[in-house]
Structures are given as C-alpha cells and as structure tokens.
Structure 1
C-alpha cells in the first residue's frame, strides 16, 4: 500500500486572489508639479518641505514636458561654487530632464520593478492617453509588494 502525504494544506482566502498588481494601484496621484520657469531655489524648498526627491515639470496646459530631481538641482548648486555665490537663480527649464521615460498604468508592478533596475531611475511619470495621471517610485513598488500575500503571487 502506497501512502501519499502532501503536507498541511493552506486554505486560501479568495479575497487575496484578486490583489491589485498594476502600477495604477500603487502610484501617487496627488503630485507636486513644477513649471519650467520655477527657480531652483523654489524647487529645493518644495523637495525638502514635501520630503520628495523630484517631480514632473508641466507646461501651462498641464502637459508633461520634463522631470526635475535633486540631482538636477545639484548642477545649480555647483555653479554657485565656481562663482563663489550660494544663490540659486537657475530655472527648472535650464536643468530638467526633457527625455522622459514613462510607465503605463496597466503595467504589472513586477515588470515595473524590472524597469527600475534596468534603467536606474528612481521615479517614472505614469501616462494614460497622453495625460499625466500619476507617478510611481521605487518605494511605491516596495510598499505595494509588502502588502501582498505571498501565496498569491
């Protein structure tokens, strides 16, 4: 006689089978945005007061035209060293990244995590039909994955 032992069976809670797994489920939607003519001093003030490391740059119609980050702001800080003045008179349009990579809101967060690793970018704007609808960061992915049940991956 052959006995088969499969071990203790875990009874799955069905509500976890339909866990959110897309970028749109974890992205930030209440975004701090910047204008091209904003000063770097203004940007640094917003970044530090809101405890963020960058954000989208939009035109007067709210269309995404670039991204500005702490790293971009460092360019203006370095300029101050060479002129021996700590003023931050540069503008966002002088330092922002204009070749912006975006994510689709329906992208699986595991695929999104792969893009973060491959591209070495800390945040992606999320676009739908040409409109900026959110932003997702590495920490958003990490927080999202921590909320998932491991038995439903």
Structure 2
C-alpha cells in the first residue's frame, strides 16, 4: 500500500480576481488652483497640504493645466535675478497646459507603466471629460504592498 505525504491540498477560489483600478487608489479630495492664482498662493497651499503639485481648473471646474513645485522653482529663480521675495506670477504663465490624464477604469499596473514611461509624479483622472481625482506615483507605490498574490 502507498501512502501520500503531500499534506493537505489547498483548493484555490474559483472566483476571478478583480482588476486593481486607478479609481480605487486615487485621491478625490483635491487641492486645485485657478489660472489667475499667484505662485505665492500655490507655494503656500502646496506647503500647507504637503503635496508637490495640483490640477488647475477653470470656472466650470474643467481641467486646463497642472502646476507643480518645479513650475514654482522657475519663478523663484526669476525672483533671484530681479531681487524679488514675492512671486506674483500667475499660474497660467507657468502651468503645464498639455496634461496627460488617466481613466479611473485603468488598471493600476497600466498606470504604473505610464509613470515609468513619462516619468512624471501625478496624473489627473478624468471620467467623461470631468476631473474626478488625481493619482500620484506615491498612491501607486502605497497600493502594492497590501495586495495579495491572488490579485496579481
């Protein structure tokens, strides 16, 4: 007689793994700016909120650009040459206008690939042309340690 010493067989669940989506890990309570805001206002808000950039929206809430710490640095350097400690430039003068966006239905793996491909720190998330959130590189990194191997 032959005995098996393989131990208890673990049967994996037959339910298909749900995709891990951008909408499940994006930030929805956003700090936003208007094109007419000053860089002084931006630097104060970024510092207070401990973030490195934010979407710029028009009066209707439509995405028109994105402003970041790097954009603020341009004004700081300009202030050095003009001996200015105030930064009155408008957001619309320094913001990035050609903004790459992601869909809330995109998988987190595809989003991670976009972060690698474009080497930027944040993507606004649009649904039907409306700003619904933002996902940062940090959001993606924070999501993966909590995932189980069955969700991969």
TM-score normalised by the chain length of structure 1: 0.89
1:152 to partner: Cα distance? 3.0
Rate the CA distance shift 1:3–1:30 in 2: closer, same or farther, 3 A.
Answer: same
Rate the CA distance shift 1:5–1:80 in 2: closer, same or farther, 3 A.
Answer: farther
Give RMSD over aligned pairs: 2.4
The match for 1:59 is: 58
Runs of 4+ in 1 over 6 A off after TM superposition: 1-8
The match for 1:73 is: 72
Rate the CA distance shift 1:142–1:94 in 2: closer, same or farther, 3 A.
Answer: same
The match for 1:98 is: 97
The match for 1:150 is: 149
Task: Name the SS of the counterpart of 2:134 in structure 1.
Answer: strand
Contact 1:19 1:148 in 2 (8 A): no
1:150 to partner: Cα distance? 2.0
Rate the CA distance shift 1:148–1:50 in 2: closer, same or farther, 3 A.
Answer: same
Rate the CA distance shift 1:96–1:4 in 2: closer, same or farther, 3 A.
Answer: farther
Which ranges in structure 2 are unaligned for 5 or more consecutive residues? none
TM-score normalised by the chain length of structure 2: 0.90
1:102 to partner: Cα distance? 0.2
Task: Name the SS of the counterpart of 1:121 in structure 2.
Answer: coil
CA distance in 2, matches of 1:120, 1:9: 44
Contact 2:19 2:107 in 1 (8 A): no
Contact 1:123 1:138 in 2 (8 A): yes
Rate the CA distance shift 1:101–1:3 in 2: closer, same or farther, 3 A.
Answer: farther
1:6 to partner: Cα distance? 6.5
CA distance in 2, matches of 1:109, 1:60: 31
